[in-house]
Structure 1
Amino acid sequence: MIGYEYQGTIKNTNEVTALKTSILLGENYIPILSKDILNKFSITTFQDAKRVAQSIGEQNKAQLTIDLIQKHLDKEIKAGLDIVKINWEANGKVFTSTCIASKDSGIVYDNMLSNVMLVKVSTTINFKSAVPSKVTNSQTTMLDLEDWTSISWYRKDEIIASWLWGSERGNAWVERQVNGAKSSANVKSISDYHSQAFDYMTLGQSESQCTVQEGDPSTGPFGSVKFIWGMYLASPTMDISMTLKNGAYKFTINGLTSESHNSGVDLVTPSSLN
């Protein structure tokens, strides 16, 4: 982004209609997400995106992206919103985009800003529990005369999405923790467990889930817990969903703009704790 110019407000329904048509003109530019490289985009026009997609048998995906943009515009663009022309330079190309914004909520839609997000994916591993557990006598029936020390297993998987200028746009994370104890004879036991999931996305979509499957038993020296988790962040013009199927979260993804997703399965037994 190399500059911008305020154009005024949308005055009536005729201007709404004209503006939506102009945003989807074939010569306008849109970022296309790389399938293989994180945070890698190509900048192309709508008409070129459709041409390339057709050449590789993905013309339906290109049309779906345009249809999703049209659906978003139909829902969000209305009289009273502000119009800002944004100037861009990328890969030797100089072009403009039309940004629709609200004084109250910020960006409503822009072909570039809405559909680009920079992503960081991380996993945090920490075996030291922030909340040490206490093993009750009911969980240490055979070993209650021994000394026990607190042990734990912890994972947090996270996706952070940022705007082009670096500030946070969205976040999704799933946290799993299992607490237990270890005897002086090095016998490990599970005492309790919990999970949390959180997500939000500014101008876009998000979801995070964690399903817990308890073993039989789930606590004690022979206990086990399985965490099945998944999450995603996506631009408003992606068609994306997440479903628990056959013991794992599966994703259905269509469209050419930005998304990031992650999922996994953790089976935790007493031997996993440290």
Structure 2
Amino acid sequence: MRNAIKWALHLTTYLITGIMFFPLLWIFLNAFKTEADAYHSPPLFIFHPVLTNVINAFGGGEYLHFLSNSFIISIGSVIIANILGLPLAFYLAELKWNGKGDNLFMWCLSTRFMPAAGIIIPLYVIFNKSHLLDSIPGMLIIYIAISIPFIVVVMRSFFLDIPYSVVEAAIVEGAGFWQLFFRIILPMATPGIATSSILAIIFNWNEYFFAVNLSGTYAGTLPVYLASFMTSEGLFWARVSGIAVLAILPILILGWLAQNRIVRGLTLGAVKE
């Protein structure tokens, strides 16, 4: 009976994994089809593959422009968010150790609950009057604001998982806040920092709503570039799939290379209260 339940769970896991993976497989297959094959009904699983869509993505230079924007905005915003958010996360953890700071933490956490559609109009007006629309600095500001609460929430929990005896010993030795933070806490929190940073980069890389409303051809990211293929003439499935594969590939490689560090950071308490 136990073996039957075990095999049933395994089959269910593989089935769910296959269902989740199938859209990616279909995009990958369409990337190497002609437009006629991509629109063929019933769908073709056996076809003559072509590299036209991938080659055309690099040919005009537009893909590389939006790719560089995605790298600059996603990674740059997370670096700045870490500089600003890590000290705040440690300060909130220190307040928690002293029995304070829950209200401040909940205020920081509540910014993650805010619906993006509810603030896009005032943001657009502010950006328009500040000449930040469709600019790299403007997009960095948005993604820094998105990343800081996430990093604070994750890293505060991770800092709380560090034994307080270590902190007390450093305080007894005369360490101040910044000495304690840079010399003791940060080296111990490296797995958590790596985990929160990688996850924040992935979230920023895939973010679409703010990017499509506050940027355009100059500071747009890859999701904006993909959306530009939805025209009045229709959707070019094969070409979009080719660019989508190229857009997914960098972040897929990052996740694959960092999977062990992500799992280690999560299991060490990066998302536990």
Q: Please, what TM-score do these two structures have when normalized by structure 1? A: 0.24
Higher relative contact order, chain-length normalized (CA < 8 Å, sep 6+): 2
- 1 or 2, which has the higher strand percentage? 1
- More helix as a share of residues: 2
Rg larger for = 1
